[in-house]
Amino acid sequence: MKSIIELFSIKKADESTSKNIENTEEEREQIRITYYQSGFAASVKATGRPIVLKTCFQNLYSSFENQCRKQKEEQERLKQPYKEEQEKHKIELKKFETGLSIHEKKEEELNNTIENLRQEIVEVRKNPDKYIDGIKGLTAQFYIGLALLIPITLYLLVFYVSASYSAFFKEFSDDSLTAAIFDKDAFTNAFSDSWLEGVLVITIPFVFMGLGYVIHMVQKSTGFKSTLRLISLFALTFLFDGLLAYIIEKKIYDFNKTPDSPLYNLKIALGEAEFWMIIFAGFVVYVIWGLVFDFIMKEHEKLDAIKIYVRSKKEEIKNIEKQLIKITHLVNDFKNKIIEEAGKINVLQSKIDGFVFPVKEYINYHSQFKEGWFQAIGTEIALAKSSKEELLIECDNIANEHLESLNLINPDFQHLVYSKN
């Protein structure tokens, strides 16, 4: 067996020199011939026995592997693609780390913003004037205005119920102006006469209040058109009050007129103090009601500013949370990519630290050794033709079993990498 192992010293010739230089095509051809000669010589000495061939292949593989490990420059050349690939992954890793840092900072900023907004929602209820201008003392003003509005509203209800009943339905039996404007039985008498009369007199006050609400809403807008609408609404209210006053005053005039009295007309109405008293008893109080209503509505809007402020902050939090979800997904993606890239770099590093086995080259030398072995059986070993054929088949099976044990039967890879770990 010692003589068989010594045959491999042929391919190790000048090993100290080959360790430091890259094999040229001429050198590779010389090595190929050496393996062929080694196989031929080994076959002659072993008389082509398959069991010896099996040992020779094992020694061939071990010797070739050791030789490859010692060829540092060749290993560096074979590892260069892995190093280049590793550099690409390192660049990608750096990009992902930068992206992660940016998005983590953004995530932190969004979380801080949400926390600040939630704190503001709590604080605005305790100290609203800190966040909303002009809100201090509004509660008292609002309730004072409301306290004034309620009795004025009751006054208008009584006035317009009585005035509308007097103007449209009442038959005068008294020339007292007070009885004409403020009839204590206007409501009951209207419903006693007809439910339609009752509905009419009870809804007319709400027409005026509706006009007051419209005036309040128009005042929210600015510009020439809004001013024109406002003037028109006040003029309409004044004309309606004037019409009520005219009808009531006409009824009183007709009740008190004599055969010599002229027909009642607008000129006579304008000259009567009672006519203007009726107008101002309704219209002036209505204007006051409208001003007070507008005031308390504005105060209420200011008080409602806290709810609006809180609502806006909650909406802002929802929008930021949507952004935060996207940022969190991006952060997780970057973390996964960093782990993936780091894993690839580590795998490549283990290959770089390990050993690259040139599969195609070994198979080539393996075939040359086998060819030399078979050639020796065919030309140097004295056996019958049938025995030689059987021996060649058996040796070929040994060669295939050797490659199969190394998973090198028809390989689709150029190199086999043995990692360090």
CA end-to-end distance (rounded Å), the chain = 34
- Say if residue 315 is exposed, middle or buried (CB neighbours under 10 Å; 0-12, 13-18, 19+): exposed
Could you tell me the pLDDT band of residue 72, with boundaries at 50, 70 and 90? low
What's the whole-model pTM score? 0.44
Q: Which of 8-17, 103-112, 260-269, 309-318 has the lowest mean pLDDT?
A: 8-17
pLDDT of residue 94: 92
Give the residue carrying structure tokens 């080994």. 42
**Residue ranges per domain, the chain?**
2-80+357-418, 138-303
Give, as one character, the DSSP assignment of residue 12: T
- The radius of gyration of the chain from alpha carbons, rounded to an integer in Å, stands at 55
The answer, yes or no, to whether residue 40 has pLDDT greater than 70, is yes
pLDDT of residue 214: 75
Could you tell me the pLDDT band of residue 75, with boundaries at 50, 70 and 90? low
Could you tell me the pLDDT band of residue 336, with boundaries at 50, 70 and 90? very high
CA atoms within 13 A on the CB side of 28: 10
How many Å apart are CA 38 and CA 371, to the nearest integer? 10
Q: In one letter, which amino acid is 29?
A: E
What are phi and psi for residue 251, nearest 5 degrees? -65, -40
Reference 281, options 175, 147, 182, 167; nearest CA is 182
The answer, yes or no, to whether residue 174 has pLDDT greater than 80, is no
The answer, yes or no, to whether residue 33 has pLDDT greater than 50, is yes
pLDDT of residue 401: 87
Beta bridge partners of 319: none
> Which one is predicted more confidently, 137 or 257?
257
The answer, yes or no, to whether residue 74 has pLDDT greater than 70, is no
Question: What digits encode the pLDDT tens for the residues 359-418?
Answer: 777 788 888 888 888 888 888 887 788 888 888 888 888 888 888 887 777 766 555 555
The answer, yes or no, to whether residue 24 has pLDDT greater than 70, is no
Average pLDDT score over the chain: 75
Tell me which H or E stretch contains 416.
strand 415-418
